A and B are shown apart, each in its own frame.
Chain A
């Protein structure tokens, strides 16, 4: 890891201390996990600090780990500093029973639909989001389809008998 990454680690560790749960460096991208209640504070620091300057939001998405009790749902942020050309990944884990996360829409207008999509598929509740509705699925849907408890249809099933669409 270069000195640049060390600086990033230093600044974040100084501010958040033990709230940062893990540092990783998978496949060349600096990645850290932080306590969920600090997500917005961390994003703001990453945005505002002149030595960090992560002012470009690349992506927000969710992941469901059903076997991790108490932290089943993950929200993953990919940020990019376009000036120094450094990418960083931030992760937070929240329980599936109370998936509350602060919204990043105040910092990034682009977070709006990304968070709506994450809500749509994983049911992450983004507190403070101006318009938290489903975006790709129908409004009437009452479940979150990318969670692991919804398996894909068995590819070998033979009980379907539909002239138009059956197998």
Chain B
């Protein structure tokens, strides 16, 4: 970096050597509502100050009144690009507290859904990196295939973006044949498209020059900043919650954790690309395992946890126990055991943790979400210091900052 040449300002001038630039708070340049106040020297960023919290929704406070199943809708809105992942993470936290053991088939179905969510999350992030470097085509092209994922969600739970999918103990209904057909269609069509997308970018000279060596963070700094997920792995550290603390039977699957070396925008892009291929492989393995269930086993889609899992509607009308449980669950009158649980899943952006303290009432005494976005966004000002403005934009999108996850 050349030494800064001072302009000779007249005596008593109120002009400064640097210019202040507001990056945001708007949606087009940044993803979601957050703001960066940049102190610019020409096009070079001297100092960046990040502000968040424009959409604070008090989830942790709201959760203190809600019964467990009503909190699922709050988790949807954390990282809304991969809502089912958050839902499953929350259900597993509850199951840990309530000591509910899920059947294997539920685990595998969950793995399918979680990996689909990871694909749709990474797909958005990587294609947006393309948009922010000036390549819009890839984004519009792969967006059609996120649609296929959303159609699978729709078939499984009825909604698309904020899914509220599954329940404590399993899924609300068994996967329909249509859901599996749609999954097969996705598995068939998507890899070719993603290959084309990769061809557009990975060896593209313009893209490489824009991303290589920009927005880099070293492994030491990334760890010190509590980075997790693809951003940490791009810096070269192979920490993945799926491997370190396997949940939902992840230990039975064969996959690799891709790592980068430099922690720059290009490495983050490449790590996410490879994770998509790994996710596809995990989905295929899980689907095979699901198909291996025959007879009555193939109808299992929830655990036997009558106090927390809503009974069949037909049973509610004919059986007394079912009616009682139905009423107690819907009204949120089930007392949960007291305890203290921390459970983490590998979210789209890293370790998504749920810290739940229960004092035995109907709602948590305290619930805290560990949101990976919030934690690594604080490193942004350090990463973009002394870089160009246009690199800062690419860094912002390649870190995959989701405003919904920054807030809680």
Tell whether A109 is near chain B: CB-to-CB under 8 Å. Answer: yes
> Which residues in B have their C-beta under 8 angstroms from that of A125?
none
Q: Which of A123-167 contact B (CB under 8 A)?
A: 134-138, 145-146, 150, 152, 155
> Which residues in B have their C-beta under 8 angstroms from that of A58?
226, 344, 351, 353, 370
A112 CA / B351 CA spacing, docked (Å): 18
Tell whether B64 is near chain A: CB-to-CB under 8 Å. Answer: yes
Q: Interface size for chain B: under 10, 10 to 19, 20 to 34, or 35 or more residues?
A: 35 or more
CB pair A110–B375 under 8 Å, yes or no, is: yes
A55-B223, A113-B375, A146-B61 known; A135 and B52 CB under 8 Å?
yes
Tell whether A43 is near chain B: CB-to-CB under 8 Å. Answer: no
In the complex, per-residue mask of B327-346: 1 if CB is within 8 Å of any chain A CB, else 0: 00000000000011110100
A135-B52, A135-B53 known; A82 and B62 CB under 8 Å?
no
CB pair B340–A82 under 8 Å, yes or no, is: no
- Size of the chain A interface, CB-CB below 8 angstroms: 37
Q: Which of B53-72 contact A (CB under 8 A)?
A: 53, 56, 58, 60-62, 64-65
Q: How far is the CB of A158 from chain B (nearest CB, A)?
A: 18
A129 CA / B239 CA spacing, docked (Å): 28
A85 CA / B344 CA spacing, docked (Å): 13
Classify the secondary structure of A's interface with B: mixed
Cβ-Cβ contact count across A and B, 8 Å cutoff: 91
A76-B355, A78-B353, A146-B60 known; A110 and B226 CB under 8 Å?
yes
Q: How far is the CB of A23 from chain B (nearest CB, A)?
A: 14
Chain B residue with the shortest CB-CB distance to A87:
B342
Q: How far is the CB of B355 from chain A (nearest CB, A)?
A: 6
CB pair B378–A113 under 8 Å, yes or no, is: yes
Tell whether B296 is near chain A: CB-to-CB under 8 Å. Answer: no
A117 CA / B58 CA spacing, docked (Å): 12
CB pair B52–A78 under 8 Å, yes or no, is: no
Chain B residue with the shortest CB-CB distance to A82:
B239
A138 CA / B51 CA spacing, docked (Å): 11
Q: How far is the CB of A111 from chain B (nearest CB, A)?
A: 8
CB pair B407–A31 under 8 Å, yes or no, is: no
Chain B residue with the shortest CB-CB distance to A78:
B342
